[in-house]
Each structure stands twice: as C-alpha cells, then as structure tokens.
C-alpha cells in the first residue's frame, strides 16, 4: 500500500517561520492584557525552533517575533501537526516589503 501521508523532514533547533495566526490572541493572564500573538510576532509572522517531539503529533518549540531573539526573548509553546504544516524553514530570505 502506498504511503499517502504528506510527511516531511523536521529539523530540530533550526529556525522556521510561520503565520502569527497560529498563536493565541487571548490575554495571557487576567491581570495582563498582552497576548502570545502580540508578544511573539511581528508583521504577521513568528519564528520558531522545535526542540522535542512528544511522538503523538505534538512538538515542543520556542517562538519569538524575530529569529535573532529566539534564544534570548522567546516563549515555550506546544504545536501540533496542523500548526507545523504552516511553518517553513527560515533561510534569512524573508524581508518586509515596502
């Protein structure tokens, strides 16, 4: 039987870019009106590095508004396969259009 799944190779600790819409727009706490989407994205994009698979279709990752701050100012999240399908390897080629 042929393999009909659309699997792709996942690179851990490699930067990816994806639409910020995968991040929650909800406030992080009752006393804090900020949201993960507002804090960890810029220009409609967010950057992430996968660090671990839970082997159930979910992954542990760090997400940030810029690839430059993934180590210093990022947030820990859990992504699923549907979220990860929207991510693309970041090669430093993305720039904002004027």
Q: Domain ranges for the chain, please list them.
A: 15-89
Residues 73-83 have pLDDT tens digits of 999 999 999 99
The reported pTM is: 0.81
Cα–Cα distance, 3 to 12 (Å, whole number)? 24
Supply the pLDDT for residue 62.
97
Cα–Cα distance, 85 to 7 (Å, whole number)? 9
DSSP 7-46: -----TTSEEEEEGGGS--SEEETTEEEEHHHHS-BTTEE
Supply the pLDDT for residue 30.
83
Distance of CA 26 to the CA centre of its chain: 17
């Amino acid at each position: 039987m042929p393999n009909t799944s659309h699997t792709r190779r996942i690179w851990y600790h490699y930067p990816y870019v994806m639409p910020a819409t995968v991040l929650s727009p909800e406030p992080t706490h009752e006393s804090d009106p900020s949201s993960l989407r507002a804090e960890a994205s810029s220009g409609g994009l967010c950057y992430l590095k996968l660090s671990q698979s839970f082997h159930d279709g979910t992954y542990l990752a760090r997400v940030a508004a810029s690839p430059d701050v993934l180590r210093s100012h990022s947030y820990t999240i859990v992504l699923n396969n549907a979220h990860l399908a929207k991510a693309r390897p970041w090669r430093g080629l993305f720039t904002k259009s004027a």
